[in-house]
Amino acid sequence: MGLPSLALLLRGGAYAHRSARADVDFALAAAALDFSLEVYFLGDAITQLAVGRKPDAARLPPGYRAWASLPELGQARLFAERTWLDRCEQRGIRLLAGLEGLERDELRARWRRCSHALVL
């Protein structure tokens, strides 16, 4: 029997408020607690994974770079809507490596297969 799976659905964009830091902290804790973690960045939440952005200019706590360390803690996969990946590419926004793009229906089907789900 495998690890229990947790789908973490994130809706908040980067730099909009402090909760984006809470998102990464929660994901790191879940990975450390031996969950098979699947993180879904919905809509502009994908901007949390933009490489080279600095939150201090917005007077927000650092930590966005912590997403890169998530796979080192345990089984974790990162997903986003393919249309948002395309938008970022068109605008020249580099995203964290390892992010998988899926169509919206594919995302829903995946997270419904997880044994637990949480929307942040």
Q: Residue range 21-36: average pLDDT?
A: 82
Parallel, antiparallel or unpaired: strands 116-119 and 5-10: parallel
- What is the pTM assigned to this prediction? 0.84
pLDDT reported for residue 88:
92
Domain range for 72 = 5-119
Of 80 and 29, the one with more pLDDT: 80
Give φ, ψ of 13 to 5 degrees: -75, 160
The four Cα atoms 71, 91, 81, 116 give a dihedral, to 10 degrees, of 40
Q: What's the domain count of the chain?
A: 1
* Residue-wise pLDDT tens digits, 40-96: 999 988 888 887 666 555 554 455 567 777 777 778 899 999 999 999 999 998 888
Domain containing residue 10: CATH number: 3.40.1260.10
